[in-house]
Amino acid sequence: MKTEVSDYMRSYEAAYETHVPQGLWMTVRLDGRGFTTFTKKGDRFEKPFDIAFHEAMLATVDSLMNCGLEIRLAHTQSDEISLVVSPDEESFGRRVVKILTVLAGQASAFFSSHFDEICVFDARMLALPDSERVSQYLLWRQEDAHRNALSAYAYWALREEGLSARSASKKLEGASRSQKNELLFERGINFNEVPEWQKRGSCVVWETFLKEGFNPKTKEVVFADRRRLVEKRHLSMKDDFRDEVEAWLRP
Ligand SMILES: Nc1nc2c(ncn2[C@@H]2O[C@H](COP(=O)(O)OP(=O)(O)OP(=O)(O)O)[C@@H](O)[C@H]2O)c(=O)[nH]1
Ligand SMILES: [Mg+2]
């Protein structure tokens, strides 16, 4: 009887257990839940972008890249983080639920302790066939950052003039890219001069370096390969960005 219960309970569990096949690039996107409210609370962050917020996202990325999974590359923009896991990673038997819950849990816990407040990230998985598709995916996220930044600047420029949230949104409804650029230009904001991290996001990659040490037995200076995380806050665009990503993805 006992065995029977355990068997069918396990079959209920197994019903939602999916594994990502070997060789596919597990790409995870985490996104802050309800961060529109979180970022507005008490006017703690500058609008539309705040460097302290972006740096907290980058610190969260560092903690994720050190959490035991072989994450080759990460990108963050606004309240989202994309993580590209090595196609050879075997941890957790490549189980989707386990990987997503561990990463979302890690990001939520780290970000919450950073701000001393409960903050939650959701997570989704894309299993991409090759590095070309990964670079295409990241370019898509970068271009999404650009679109959202332009809209956010236009929205907050109108709000600063005294328009209500509803009227500012209404005024921007159906406005083209060039109309939003023009609206900003008329108000003294040149969107071309907005910092790159706001329009494109930032990446974090591993870099290898030679670390100098001393061998007390032989009394010799020795060098060993080590790796460290490096933030890339000036991303290139379009095909150059795709080439850059492909180079970072090479082992
Ligand atoms: N003030 C400020 N807000 C930011 C910054 N970066 C991101 N945000 C806000 O974070 C929100 C992210 O958008 P969404 O993820 O679509 O919205 P959300 O409220 O998190 O909703 P869900 O993700 O669906 O739960 C936007 O409202 C942005 O204004 C920042 O640097 N400063
Ligand atoms: Mg969000």
pLDDT tens digits, residue range 17-70? 999 999 999 999 999 999 999 999 888 899 999 999 999 999 999 999 999 999
What is the spatial distance between Cα 30 and Cα 28, in angstroms, rounded to a whole number?
A: 7
Burial 177-193 (b: 16+ CB within 10 A, else e): eeebbebbeeeebebee
* Atom of ligand 1 lying closest to residue 152 CA: 29
Question: CA nearest 230: which of 101, 122, 72?
Answer: 72
What does the domain layout of the chain look like in residue ranges?
Answer: 17-200
The closest ligand to the CA of 35 turns out to be 1
Q: CB neighbours (10 Å) of residue 148?
A: 15
CA of 35 to the centre of ligand 2 (A): 5
Would you say the CB of residue 191 lies under 6 angstroms from ligand 1? no
Q: Which residue has the tokens 């370019």?
A: 139
pLDDT of residue 2: 67
Would you say the CB of residue 33 lies under 6 angstroms from ligand 1? yes
**Ligand 1 atom 18: residue of nearest CA:** 34
pLDDT surpassing 80 at residue 226: yes
Topology of 17-200 in CATH? Answer: Alpha-Beta Plaits (3.30.70)
CA of 18 to the centre of ligand 1 (A): 30
Would you say the CB of residue 35 lies under 6 angstroms from ligand 1? yes
Question: CA nearest 91: which of 80, 79, 100?
Answer: 100
**Ligand 1 atom 31: residue of nearest CA:** 49
